[in-house]
Amino acid sequence: MKIALTYNLKKKDETKPADYFSEYDSEETINAIVSAIKAKGHHVEAIDVEYPKLFSYFRKNSVDMVFNIAEGQSGKFRESEVPAILDYLNIPYTGSDTFSLALALNKTITKKILKAENIPTPNFQLFTKGSEELDPALKFPLIVKPNCEGSAKGISKANVVDNADDLFKRVKETLSSYHQEALAEEFIEGKELTVGILENGKTRVLPILEIDFSECKNSGEYFYSWKMKEYQGNRELGLVPVFHCPARLDKDVEARVKEVALKTHRAVGCLDISRTDIRLDKFNVPYVLEINPLPGLDPQESNFPIMAYAAGMKYEDLIEAIILSASERKGLN
């Protein structure tokens, strides 16, 4: 097959906020995907989707499939930008479609769908102005997050608040720094889990990954904050989460967590691949925080490949599974 890999490249730019490029991919990730695609016998070219490179590429080249990891340029539909262009040009691509990508990027609308489907998700309130009245039913501590970001952008330990004053401070800060709505939700104290789903012929829930932050105490960070994600593995900073895959769970809890992730994947309409972030409360209820239809694919650092390796797959098998799943859907096999 002739495949184009569409991506946004992580850059260094001191004039931008520290988390500006956090969602984008590194050269190592792009090179690893290119090598994996080649190893499976395909022809591949990597295309930075920065305007207008994408247009000029597809004007000159025809491809059988796009392997899409592009996070998009800006705005709350950014992850749908490349798929929307590919839909218009009638070019098949891997992963979720324009609709599901835009939906999953909007945490609040996703949570409303999860609630309607009886999938547990933390109680929440959306703030658009910062002058709204606080819903008295919400129980502190709460965590404040930008409504449409990923890579934990805008999420620091100061965003976990236990009173209304601090809440409104963080809400206003989020509104002004990220130019978007602020979501406040109940903070679930308990195990951090993430669940990978991979479709290749049949839908497969990978071994659950548990991320344990207890070794990070000296850093002051205690959950998957932006700092934890950005500097993961940095011993000097003490940001050394321990990964357990499969997660240390009783069989019945494991089954419930997997079922909730699969229901979430289907409710949001994800295709080929997704990663659902979950927190277990003290009664072992799995609360879905969000679903990522474009999970990070860094072969060393990212959560998704760790789960694939635990399932006995090599990195190139993971990449090929995504391509095969998309090809089958598009009738290319």
Ligand X SMILES: Nc1ncnc2c1ncn2[C@@H]1O[C@H](COP(=O)(O)OP(=O)(O)OP(=O)(O)O)[C@@H](O)[C@H]1O
Residues of this chain that interact with Mg ion (CB under 5 A) are: 277
By the rule CB under 6 A, 223 interacts with ligand X: yes
Sequence-separated (6 or more) residues with CB below 8 Å from residue 7:
24, 25, 30, 46, 47, 48, 49, 69, 70
Residue 97 vs 277, nearer CB to Mg ion: 277
Nearest distance, CB of residue 217 and ligand X, angstroms = 15
By the rule CB under 6 A, 96 interacts with ligand X: no
Residue 188 vs 270, nearer CB to ligand X: 188
Quick one: which segment of 71-79, 89-97, 141-149, 231-239 binds ligand X (CB under 6 A)?
A: 141-149
Q: Which of 72, 83, 95, 150 binds ligand X (CB under 6 A)?
A: 150
C-alpha–C-alpha distance, residues 171 and 180, integer Å: 10
**For the window 46-85, what string marks contact with ligand X as x by the rule CB under 6 A?**
----------------------------------------
Report whether 112 contacts 185 (CB < 8 A): no
By the rule CB under 6 A, 185 interacts with ligand X: yes
Q: Which residue is nearest to Mg ion (CB)?
A: 277
By the rule CB under 6 A, 152 interacts with ligand X: yes
Q: Which of 46, 143, 175, 239 binds ligand X (CB under 6 A)?
A: 143
Quick one: which segment of 82-90, 110-118, 143-151, 256-264 binds ligand X (CB under 6 A)?
A: 143-151
C-alpha–C-alpha distance, residues 235 and 80, integer Å: 37
Which amino acid would we find at residue 303? N
Residue 186 vs 272, nearer CB to ligand X: 186
Nearest distance, CB of residue 152 and Mg ion, angstroms = 7
246 prior amide bond cis, ω within 30: yes
By the rule CB under 6 A, 265 interacts with ligand X: no
- Determine the 3-state secondary structure of 86 from DSSP: helix
Q: Token pair 């991320």 is at which residue?
A: 211
Q: Which of 80, 219, 276, 292 binds ligand X (CB under 6 A)?
A: 292
Kindly give the interhelix angle for 98-105 and 81-89, rounded to the nearest 10 degrees.
170
Report whether 305 contacts 318 (CB < 8 A): yes
CA 6 to chain CA centroid, Å, is: 17
By the rule CB under 6 A, 122 interacts with ligand X: yes
In 213-257, at which residue ranges do the beta strands (DSSP E only) sit? 242-244
Number of residues that bind ligand X (CB under 6 A): 22
Nearest distance, CB of residue 277 and Mg ion, angstroms = 4
Reading the block at residue 188, the tokens are 């679930």
C-alpha–C-alpha distance, residues 166 and 178, integer Å: 18
By the rule CB under 6 A, 151 interacts with ligand X: yes
DSSP, residue by residue, 306-325: HHHHHTT--HHHHHHHHHHH
Report whether 197 contacts 273 (CB < 8 A): yes
Residue 58 vs 296, nearer CB to Mg ion: 296
**Contact footprint for ligand X (CB under 6 A):** 122, 143, 145, 149-153, 155, 185-188, 192, 223-224, 229, 277, 279, 289-290, 292
